[in-house]
Amino acid sequence: GFDGKRGWTIDPWQGFSFPRRANRTELNVYEQQACFFTILLDYKEKEVEAAYMGMEEMDGMDVHVLKLMRKSGLEETWYLDAATFFAYKSQSQWVDFASPAPSEAYYDEYTEVDGLVLPFLVERVFFNRLWQTEVEEVLINPDVDMNLFDIPDCPAMQKLSFLTGEWEVNIEVRNRQDQMVFSEST
């Protein structure tokens, strides 16, 4: 789950069978995925810096090369087909077993949905892994229950749910001489 700022995951590959907060590297990937395969749409509103690096030839086609810097400080390189201006390839930091990993993504099978042209096939390569995403359907601005993105309690915490509510707590901190150094009630 990712609400645009905070994220969580259940990661059995790392031995987590319960929900845990995502680390910074994972949050960077969540931010990339939240852009639905392109950071270029509304990049200024996303506070992304962009620099045009010129033209190159790639896989027999001319491509425009863009360097993008996210507000997180992470840099990405995007290659746009010079004939269509559709993204052909991107290079960015990804995540593999909760650790940073360089990656390349290739975009294909563009389809128009409500005036937006989107890739319905994305192949991502990081280290020796290949991750392929095939999109079946895209809904633009559907009604979504935002609670869906909240981190669920793990089973052990669900057993303690009866403790949820308002509590009155008194905090006292004493030094070695048993003198009060801090006291607060909340």
- For residue 36, what pLDDT is reported? 66
Contact 16, 26 (CB under 8 A): no
Among 79-83, 135-139, 144-148, the least confident range: 144-148
- Give the 3-state secondary structure of residue 177: coil
Q: Report the candidate in 106, 99, 76 with the shortest Cα–Cα distance to residue 14.
A: 99
Per-residue model confidence as pLDDT tens digits over 24-47: 778 777 777 766 667 787 888 888
Identify which of 93, 125, 124 has the alpha carbon closest to the alpha carbon of residue 25: 93
Handedness of CA 55, 56, 62, 67 (dihedral sign): negative
pLDDT reported for residue 65: 98
